[in-house]
A and B are shown apart, each in its own frame.
Chain A
């Protein structure tokens, strides 16, 4: 059983979408959506599909909190990340989702790459609405749920 399953087993989450690269679950009661990356790399077309599914899930169930579990990832495609930050997140903001929680792999070098990627996006898109979005880095899904419920 992977970490994701271990952490959500006692919480009633329903699967919305699953592929070889990612899985999306939600809880209507908690208003939380969770997406887990299942491979070290998500190809561009799969990334778009997963995120479009995420968007549908958030819209359909009026979710207010989103947890992105990236622990399996070891590589990301920067243009996809730009799309994720600049378009997807802002579309979600219009739907009322502004609280994002992220779980990064326990790899210092990967976290530095994320930091570098974020810095580039912030530099290239200074007018974006990123400052209206709350991003909290956590170590586990349970930690995110605890923070949401506190």
Chain B
């Protein structure tokens, strides 16, 4: 009798345990199905988001490519510059599709005006400032007929400061520039700069002419000095922004630097400009190749 009661209790206990086990397995099955469904929904949602991002990315890319065409349209062509200075080159290698690096060239009356411009900001903001800078330089030189480089930069400084700070919110953007005026009649070069120097290679001497230390549009009251250079014999002039000096690379992963660039130019100054351009391009490419 006692044995029978014990056996019944054991069977009841086992039945109870079995019931809990069955309930647990059902719950786990249910968890599995729900979670699989949930993960599928997340996957579908992620795929949809990915598709939207890809579409948006393509729109932005197409828009940037179009903007690149517009920016290219305002850049001086090598043909145009070579027509004025038969031994010359423009080295331009932008890391983004559009950006704030700009070469400027125009002629007015007896002068050529040429500039290397570095606008603040990368990509779209830089490109927008560069378009403004180009337009303002045309207005100052061609419409207002201002021809003194220092005065041109003074005017550009005021106009760009006013344009950028006229709306809501203060804008801390601007540009650095190296600007030269070359006389068609006399052998005279006039230079003014805002944080960008001019390298003058004369006969038997070279000089890195320093710029004013203020950027354009930094302070509306800044003034810019014009430096007159009398040219005797065959002289060479180089204007450059911080693109090449700021390139990291080399064995110690350092910036290329202005000093190294000036040394390189001095070493190759006797070559024609086409050859110099090739050497500079190759030197920078191999410098960058060392950058991890």
Binding site for B on A (CB under 8 A): 40-41, 43-44, 74-78, 109, 112-113, 115-117, 119-120
How far, in Å, is B14 (CB) from chain A's closest CB?
A: 15
Residue of B27, B34, B37 contacting most chain A CB atoms (<10 Å): B27
B61 at the interface (CB under 8 A from A): no
Q: Could you say which of A44, A75, A109, A120 contacts B34, with CB atoms under 8 Å apart?
A: A120
Q: Which residues of B lie under 8 Å from residue A74 when comparing CB positions? A: 28
B21-75 interface with A by 8 A CB criterion: 23-24, 27-28, 30-32, 34-35, 37-39
How far apart are the CA atoms of A110 and B32 in the complex, in Å? 10
Q: What is the interface of chain B, defined by CB distance below 8 A to chain A?
A: 19-20, 23-24, 27-28, 30-32, 34-35, 37-39
A sample of 22 cross-chain residue pairs with beta-carbon separation below 8 angstroms, ordered by A number, consists of: A40-B24, A41-B23, A43-B19, A44-B23, A75-B24, A75-B27, A75-B28, A76-B27, A77-B23, A78-B31, A78-B34, A109-B35, A112-B35, A112-B38, A112-B39, A113-B31, A113-B32, A113-B34, A115-B38, A116-B35, A116-B37, A117-B34
Shortest distance from the beta carbon of A11 to any chain B beta carbon, whole Å: 32
Q: Which residues of A contact B35 (CB under 8 A)?
A: 109, 112-113, 116
Q: How far is the CA of A116 from the CA of B38 in the complex (A)?
A: 6
Closest A residue to B34 using CB positions: A116
Q: Tell me how far the C-beta of A77 lies from the nearest C-beta in chain B, rounded to whole angstroms.
A: 5
Q: Is the CB of B34 within 8 A of A43?
A: no
The secondary structure that dominates the A interface is helix
- SS of B interface (majority): helix
Contact of B31 among A40, A44, A76 (CB under 8 A): A76
Chain A neighbourhood of B27, CB < 8 A: 41, 75-78
Contacts of A119 in B (CB 8 A): 38
Question: For residue B30, which residue of chain A has the nearest CB?
Answer: A78
Indicate whether A41 sits within 8 Å of B34 (C-beta atoms), given known contacts A75-B28, A112-B39: no
**Chain A contacts for B28, CB-based, 8 A:** 74-75
A44–B37 CA distance with the chains assembled, in angstroms: 24
Expressed in whole angstroms, the Cα–Cα distance for A78 and B34 within the complex equals 10
CB-CB under 8 A from B32, the residues of chain A are 113
When distances are taken between beta carbons in the complex, the residues of chain A under 8 Å from B20 are 41, 43
